[in-house]
A and B are shown apart, each in its own frame.
Chain A
Amino acid sequence: MEAADKPAPADALWKHVRKEWKLYSFLVVPVIYFLIFKYAPMLGNIIAFRKYRGGPNIFGTEWVGFAYFRMFLKDPSFWRAFFNDLTLNVSYLAVRFPLTLTFALLLNELRRVKWKKFVQTVSYLPHFISMVIVAGMVKEMVSLTGPINSFLAWMGFERIPFISLPEWFPAIYVASGIWQSLGWGTILYLAAMTAINTELYEVAKIDGANRFRLAWHVTIPGILPTIMVLLILDIGGILGSNFEKILLLYNPLTYETADVISTYVYRMGITGGNFSYATAVGLFEGVIGLILVTAANQLSKRTTKSGLW
């Protein structure tokens, strides 16, 4: 493929491969692995355009064109899932992004190294806990006899069955996400902060800048490339809600606000056996994600000169 766009002729390349064959031989098994487990499923998306009724031939039986796409675009459940994805992710991003950045700036202000390390260690911990346990914890925390309801009762309010009320699902989703990712999300910011030239701080201090001005005029510009990269990734994932968490936390009572594209694909395909239909929906999500990442990356490169590629 790329041999063609090289100025050097094909036998020069062949010579190069023969000379370095030992190094290239490392790649044989991993590349086969990538072809089978990463690229074959991409090709497998072909069943979105073909009728697949089960069986070992995962490429289906007959062409149906865009029939499945037309079908899901007319399905109100699909659109509900689509807008739930947007709502959940946009609200999560809107809360998490400023909070994580603020938390990173505050951590950066801690003087005592041991105390800072301790706060970091504790705040990273939830990132490593299995989603099953996180979801279990959430259910325990919001249960009728759990601490949140006990607190409400103590304040004189009624107990609320949070987990079965659709209007509470976004709040549960966002809050549990913050709990799990606030600390871990600061790592890249903190790494970027250590790379800022300390002389900039000294100069700004001589100019009389206080702590807030230092953060605003030195720290934030210094970590702007990191901020942009993370934002690009987040925008690309705007349709990719936390599938595992939702699958563990939602129930038919809350589908109205909790069902997202990936859980919809799961129910249609894995539970319902409508493989072709579910694949069409999944492919739609994947392609939109790819387009969004690419667009966000281009935009970032144009405005801040930093991007993913």
Chain B
Amino acid sequence: MRKSRSFGAFDWINGLIMILVVFFTLYPFLYLVAQSFSSEAAIYAGKVTIWPVEFTAKTYEVILSKPDFFRYYWNTIVYSVVGTFIAVAATAVMSYPLSKDKLRLNKFFIPFVLFTMYFGGGLIPNYLLIAKTLGMRDTIWAIVIPGAISAFNVILMKTFFAGLPSEVEEAARVDGLDVFGIFAKIVLPLSKPILATITLFVIVGLWNNWFGPSLYLQSKEKWPIALYLRQIIDNAVSPTEVGASSDQAAQIAASVKSTAMVLTSLPIICVYPFVQKYFVQGMMIGAVKG
């Protein structure tokens, strides 16, 4: 919109600031990667800054040769996939009627949903409900059900549905489709962008979730990778537990944290650039509603 001006001093300074922001954002990642490929001696001497020092991939070999790591990873995948499916389906089903102005009871149901954005039961009542009353402790349901629908996601999707051209639904009705048919065959296919956005919001939340699992999953074999990672970071996992022989122990102890962090964040970092626009799009839809 303002292309007439030339590239001046301000633009140079601004460019420099941006380079610094990019650098400081990426630096912790680079440091972790560097450390995970460095020797224990270099790490303990504080020699690692941005490149691997005395390159070694030993830690990766040890971690990746043990089935544990993959089991936790697999658990995470299961929780993420099942949880996302439930969450997206439930959010869509709830948002569709709420997007219809002609439903008079929405005057009640919309505030009913919105109120939960500003007030919640709090940690303890939620915990007691899920763990004790519902008996979901140590099951996948404690991970995938309680957070399935969020008021925020409902608002995003409702706003999107409300913006769909009503003529399309009208035409489908004339063709003899009922509400269920219109929803499944017309509305959902037209709503792929918002479905993608919500899917990604939910999947990231589930992928990164460690607190819920730490509350509800007692059996270690059910843990997601994030919770296992927490144990590693808190020094609660011995090198031999990760699979190191005694001569590898020192090396593993030095770089197991960074290696595990790299391996856990890798999928997000790899997929993220390609799906980033859906997140932004979701926030934009939310912003319109504000």
User: Which of A's residues lie within 8 Å of B, judged by CB?
Assistant: 1-2, 6, 13, 16-17, 20, 22-24, 26-27, 29-31, 33-34, 36-45, 47, 52, 54-58, 103, 106-107, 109-111, 115, 118-126, 128-133, 135-137, 139-141, 144-147, 149-150, 153, 179, 182-183, 187-188, 191-192, 198, 201, 205, 211, 214, 225-226, 229, 236, 244, 247-248, 262, 265-266, 269-270, 275, 278-279, 282-283, 285-286, 289-290, 293, 308-309
CA distance A125 to B103 in the complex (A): 40
CA distance A36 to B96 in the complex (A): 21
CB pair A140 B258 closer than 8 Å = yes
B171 at the interface (CB under 8 A from A): no
Task: With A13-B104, A133-B229 as known contacts, state yes or no: A42 contacts B121, CB within 8 Å.
Answer: yes
CA distance A247 to B210 in the complex (A): 12
CB pair A103 B21 closer than 8 Å = yes
Task: With A20-B103, A150-B49 as known contacts, state yes or no: A141 contacts B25, CB within 8 Å.
Answer: no
- By a CB distance below 8 angstroms, the chain A residues around B178 are 22
CB pair A111 B3 closer than 8 Å = yes
CB pair A23 B97 closer than 8 Å = yes
CB pair B119 A42 closer than 8 Å = yes
CB pair B45 A33 closer than 8 Å = no
**Residue-by-residue, is B45-75 near A (CB-CB < 8 Å gives 1, otherwise 0)?**
1111100000000000000000000000000
- In the complex formed, the residue of A with least CB distance to B27 is A147
B174 at the interface (CB under 8 A from A): no
- In the complex formed, the residue of B with least CB distance to A33 is B149
CB pair B264 A16 closer than 8 Å = no
- By a CB distance below 8 angstroms, the chain A residues around B145 are 37
Chain B interface residue count, CB cutoff 8 Å, equals 97
Instruction: List the 5 closest A-B pairs by CB distance, nearest first.
Output: A41-B121, A44-B125, A130-B208, A30-B94, A282-B122
User: Which of B's residues lie within 8 Å of A, judged by CB?
Assistant: 1-3, 5, 7, 10-11, 14-15, 17-18, 21-22, 24-28, 31-32, 35, 43-49, 90, 93-94, 96-98, 100, 102-105, 107-109, 112-114, 116, 118-129, 132-135, 145-146, 148-149, 178-180, 183, 204, 207-208, 210-211, 215, 226-227, 229-230, 233, 257-258, 261, 264-265, 268-269, 272-273, 276, 279-280, 283-284, 287, 290
CA distance A1 to B25 in the complex (A): 51
Task: With A147-B49, A247-B211 as known contacts, state yes or no: A119 contacts B125, CB within 8 Å.
Answer: no
Which of the residues A23, A133, A144, A282 comes within 8 Å of B264, measured between beta carbons? A133
CB pair B133 A26 closer than 8 Å = no
CB pair B21 A129 closer than 8 Å = no
CB pair A140 B32 closer than 8 Å = yes
Q: Chain B interface secondary structure, helix, strand, loop or mixed?
A: helix
Q: How many A-B residue pairs have CB under 8 A?
A: 267
CA distance A124 to B277 in the complex (A): 11
CB pair A38 B49 closer than 8 Å = no
- In the complex formed, the residue of A with least CB distance to B210 is A132
CA distance A192 to B290 in the complex (A): 11
CB pair B179 A58 closer than 8 Å = no
Task: With A55-B132, A111-B7, A270-B215 as known contacts, state yes or no: A226 contacts B287, CB within 8 Å.
Answer: yes
CA distance A309 to B79 in the complex (A): 35
